[in-house]
Amino acid sequence: MSASSKSHARIGEQVWAKMPKINAEFFCLTYGTMVVQLMKDFEDVREVNKKLESMGHGIGMRLIDEFLAKSGINNCHDFSETCDVIAKVAFKMFLGVGVDVANWNADKTACSLLLYDNPLNDFVEIPPNTNLLYSNILCGVIRGALEMIMMKVDAFFVRDVLRGDDVNEIRVELKERMVSEMDDQYKEG
Amino acid sequence: MPDAVAECLFEMLLTEAVKLDFPGEGPIIGPSGETASSRPELHGYEVGYRFVERIAQARALAADHLEAIKFICKDVWNEIFGKQIDKLQTNHRGVFVLKDYTFRWLARVSSDDAEAMKRVTANILQFPCGVLRGALANLGIVATVTAEYGTLPSCSFSIRIQGNDARFDKA
């Protein structure tokens, strides 16, 4: 673990200790009941996955404010630092779990987040042979949060404990850095 | 596995879940056949029922309504919010009013538009109403629950007990 990664882990611990919290079981039941409801609403499980992702996107767009306000983290100087902060600070302060970053590509534009514990999975069993991505909301949260700080990413599950894998793995790929378009609007006015 | 998660996550999840309400689908009937007044209410009912199932496992069934309501005001509220209900009132004829002066799920609601704000608040409150109704149902009590709010984030829940299920009478 690099030096900065260690200090991120420490920040994560400190912020987590101060966060107002809610019973994890209650949270899991609320999420699970919602997924069950979506399964009934949509016949196609792919629609459920998509819906979960888009709900996560909505949450991520608001969660980034909470993150910046509470963590005191400023600009990251590259994408690999961003991913380390997501893993060590963000996951820790919101879900109370540590996450590892692994499997970087050569360009340092894509990596995997390895969740050994996924609090959403508590008490969950999914029917065999379904394509349900139970925790797909997490991918949406990551995409929504990074979009607000001008990074377009794809995030998707590649391994899921609920589907028989040994670890939960979310792949995060940087697609582009967005450019601020604010200036033009002001010029017109 | 941690036994808690950040509360802001829950509040945001609830806000998104409440938006899922699909209009025009007729009466809302849950998996076990009970009807609910809205989707968030049914959602809350399911959560409340199961949650109490887990935390009440080691307890004897409440001897009367007041004891059951007290269990909710103290134990259930404490598990969810880390605090008790601030004030409990009853007319001793099956109506209970639970007041929470700092109901945190409403703390984040904000909108420019007063009408929209009212709608969102009412929708969000459907969920805890359902939680209370589900919790009571698990304890063998059939009730209706409504919520009112004054100056946010203070609000009160009125429980009107309709009757008992067979299990309660045996106790």
Over the stretch A36-84, which tens digit does the pLDDT of each residue have? 989 988 889 999 999 999 999 999 999 999 999 999 888 888 999 999 9
Q: How far is CA A151 from CA A8, A145, A154, A179, in A?
A: 20, 9, 10, 9
Residues of chain A with C-beta less than 8 angstroms from the C-beta of B82: 21
Report if residue A39 sits inside a domain.
no
- Please give the residue range of the domain that contains residue A89: 3-19+44-177
In terms of Cα–Cα distance, which of B126, B122, B96 is closest to B36? B126
Is it the case that residue B138 has pLDDT exceeding 50?
Answer: yes
Report if residue A167 sits inside a domain.
yes
pLDDT at position B171, please? Answer: 45
Question: To the nearest whole number, what is the mean pLDDT of chain B?
Answer: 84
DSSP B3: S
Yes or no, beta carbons of B82 and A38 under 8 Å apart: no
**Minimum CA–CA partner of A116 in chain B:** B1
> Tokens 């007729």 — which residue?
B26
Four-residue CA torsion sign, B3, B5, B7, B13: negative
Report if residue A38 sits inside a domain.
no
> What DSSP element (H or E) covers A60?
helix A45-71
Report if residue A164 sits inside a domain.
yes
What's the CA gap between A84 and A9, in Å, rounded? 9
pLDDT at position A4, please? Answer: 76
The CATH number of the domain where A166 resides is what?
3.30.1380.20
Residues of chain B with C-beta less than 8 angstroms from the C-beta of A62: 12
Q: What is the pLDDT of residues B82-118, one digit of tens each?
A: 889 999 999 988 899 999 998 888 877 777 788 888 8
- Averaged pLDDT, B11-35: 68
pLDDT at position B38, please? Answer: 82
Q: Does A68 or B21 have the greater pLDDT score? A: A68
Confidence of residue B24 (pLDDT cuts 50, 70, 90): very low
- Averaged pLDDT, B23-30: 54
What's the CA gap between A54 and A60, in Å, rounded? 10
pLDDT at position B107, please? Answer: 75
Task: State both tokens at A65.
Answer: 């404010």
Q: Does A6 or B7 have the greater pLDDT score? A: B7
Report if residue A189 sits inside a domain.
no
Residues of chain A with C-beta less than 8 angstroms from the C-beta of B52: none
Distance from CA of A144 to the nearest CA of B (A): 13
Q: How far is CA A121 from CA A28, A39, A103, B79, B162, in A?
A: 8, 16, 23, 20, 36
Find the length of chain B. Answer: 171
Number of H helices and E strands in chain B, helices first, is 6, 7
Across the interface, of B5, B20, B43, the residue whose CB is closest to A24 is: B5
Report if residue A37 sits inside a domain.
no
What's the CA gap between A173 and A184, in Å, rounded? 29
**Minimum CA–CA partner of A66 in chain B:** B8
What is the full DSSP assignment across B99-154?
EETT-GGGTT---S-HHHHHHHHHHHHHHHHHHHHHHHHHTTEEEEEEEEESSTT-
Counted domains in chain A:
1
Report if residue A131 sits inside a domain.
yes
Yes or no, beta carbons of A59 and B12 under 8 Å apart: yes
Chain A residues whose C-beta is within 8 A of a chain B C-beta are: 16, 19-27, 29-31, 33-34, 37-38, 41, 55, 58-59, 62-63, 66, 93-97, 117, 119, 122, 137
Distance from CA of B126 to the nearest CA of A (A): 14
pLDDT at position B21, please? Answer: 62
pLDDT at position A12, please? Answer: 93
What backbone torsions phi and psi does residue A131 show, to the nearest 5 degrees? -95, 15
pLDDT at position B1, please? Answer: 63
- Please state the pTM of the whole predicted model: 0.88
What's the CA gap between A15 and A98, in Å, rounded? 13
What's the CA gap between B140 and B68, in Å, rounded? 9
Neighbours of B158 (CB within 10 A): 17
User: Strands, E, within chain A: which ranges?
Assistant: 21-23, 99-102, 110-115, 151-159, 168-177
Centroid of chain to Cα B1: 26
ipTM for the predicted complex: 0.89
Is it the case that residue B23 has pLDDT exceeding 60?
Answer: no
pLDDT at position B106, please? Answer: 82
Residues of chain A with C-beta less than 8 angstroms from the C-beta of B45: none
pLDDT at position B131, please? Answer: 96
Distance from CA of B5 to the nearest CA of A (A): 5
Is it the case that residue B2 has pLDDT exceeding 80?
Answer: no
pLDDT at position A171, please? Answer: 96
Report if residue A183 sits inside a domain.
no
Yes or no, beta carbons of B4 and A117 under 8 Å apart: no
User: Three-state SS for A157?
Assistant: strand
**What stretches in chain A show pLDDT beneath 50?**
none
